[in-house]
Amino acid sequence: MENKELLRVEHLKKYFSTPAGSLHAVDDVTFTVKTGETLGIVGESGCGKSTLGRVILRLHEPTAGRVFFEGYNILQYNAGALKRLRRNMQIIFQDPFASLNPRMTVSETISEALVIQKLYSPRDKKGLRKRSLELMEMVGLAERLVNTYPHELDGGRRQRIGIARVLALNPKLIVCDEPVSALDVSIQAQILNLMQDLQDELGFTYLFITHDLSVVKHLSDDILVMYLGQMVEKAPTARLFKNPLHPYTRALLSAIPVPDPDFDTNRTILSGELTSPIEPAPGCRFAKRCPQAQERCLGTDIPFREVAEDHFVACGEI
């Protein structure tokens, strides 16, 4: 059975006013994600990944564009409708420590999420404890940790609490904003496996934001590569890894470390001036760093077009 579209983002823009001018953090982003699928959103620091996630969750108001969740334009929702929507759209952050209250134990932290969303009464201590323990088990936290505090736990376990809090609400869409970037590589794999298992079991849809393509390789159905607020390439994951078309995507792929030191990866080191996101000129924003740039890449915007089935790219050279 064909999965249903859960999220549709159309021509989304978020510009910030700064003293130097309008900063184009997200500039005309369009994509759809089907229920139960994962879209990886990849690009280097400052390319607008977090801003995009926040605008989709309406933690920031967009400058222009539309966001449809289950077919409804959520930008038209009033405060009451937004509050109900929040249960269905949740976010997991990079640093769970920053979002956890240091004075609350694991079970108190999870219980708080259940109470805030009115899933349980604060007086229902027995029910809260039972559900908290269930959620702890789902995220692989041992029962003995129920009364521990965040500072007593390692980064991986803290991220598991963050995931349990989100699971408590049983959302449909989870925006994961660099959820494993602060963790050791071995722990990263455990958390990624957990997220994959939870998706298989509970049918979550993920927007998985990361600067590291290797992190989303096994988790994503599709990958969207962003550069300075714009989409530069989008394709099903296997196709993107096999046949990357945009020179920026190729550079990102070449930066993934290969376990065999004798293997020649032809790593592309990007040089050249970084284009400013403030009032950027028309044309490809990567052109100044691009090894293949031609004169035609500057001056007019490069269309984001489908060059093969489900494979889109914005490059003046293709």
Ligand X SMILES: Nc1ncnc2c1ncn2[C@@H]1O[C@H](COP(=O)(O)OP(=O)(O)OP(=O)(O)O)[C@@H](O)[C@H]1O
Q: ∠ CA(6), CA(308), CA(24), 5° rounding?
A: 60
Q: Which does 25 bind (CB under 5 to 8 A by kind): ligand X, Mg ion, none?
A: ligand X
| Token duo for residue 264 | 């020649």
C-alpha dihedral, 132 to 138 to 141 to 144, nearest 10°: 50
Among 5, 32, 35, 46, binds ligand X (CB under 6 A): 46
C-alpha span between 316 and 141 (Å, rounded)? 50
| The dihedral sign for the CA sequence 86, 88, 92, 96 | positive
Site string for ligand X, 233-262 (x = CB under 6 A): ------------------------------
Instruction: Report how far Cα 87 is from the mean position of its chain's Cα atoms.
Output: 18
> Residue 83: phi, psi to the nearest 5?
-60, -40
Restricting to residues 159-178, name those near ligand X by CB under 6 A.
none
Minimum gap (Å) between residue 6 Cβ and Mg ion: 22
Asked if 23 is part of the footprint of ligand X (rule: CB under 6 A), the reply reads yes
Q: Which stretch binds ligand X (CB under 6 A): 45-53, 116-124, 256-264, 265-273?
A: 45-53
Among 277, 285, 290, 314, binds ligand X (CB under 6 A): 277
Minimum gap (Å) between residue 47 Cβ and Mg ion: 9
| The dihedral sign for the CA sequence 189, 193, 196, 202 | negative
Binding site for Mg ion (CB under 5 A): 50
Asked if 285 is part of the footprint of ligand X (rule: CB under 6 A), the reply reads no
Q: Which does 140 bind (CB under 5 to 8 A by kind): ligand X, Mg ion, none?
A: none
Q: Which does 132 bind (CB under 5 to 8 A by kind): Mg ion, ligand X, none?
A: none
* 312 burial level (CB within 10 Å; 0-12, 13-18, 19+): buried
Give the count of residues interacting with ligand X (CB under 6 A). Answer: 14
Asked if 230 is part of the footprint of ligand X (rule: CB under 6 A), the reply reads no
Pairing type for strands 72-73 and 230-236 reads unpaired
Asked if 40 is part of the footprint of ligand X (rule: CB under 6 A), the reply reads no
Q: Which residues bind ligand X (CB under 6 A)?
A: 16, 18, 23, 25, 43, 45-51, 211, 277
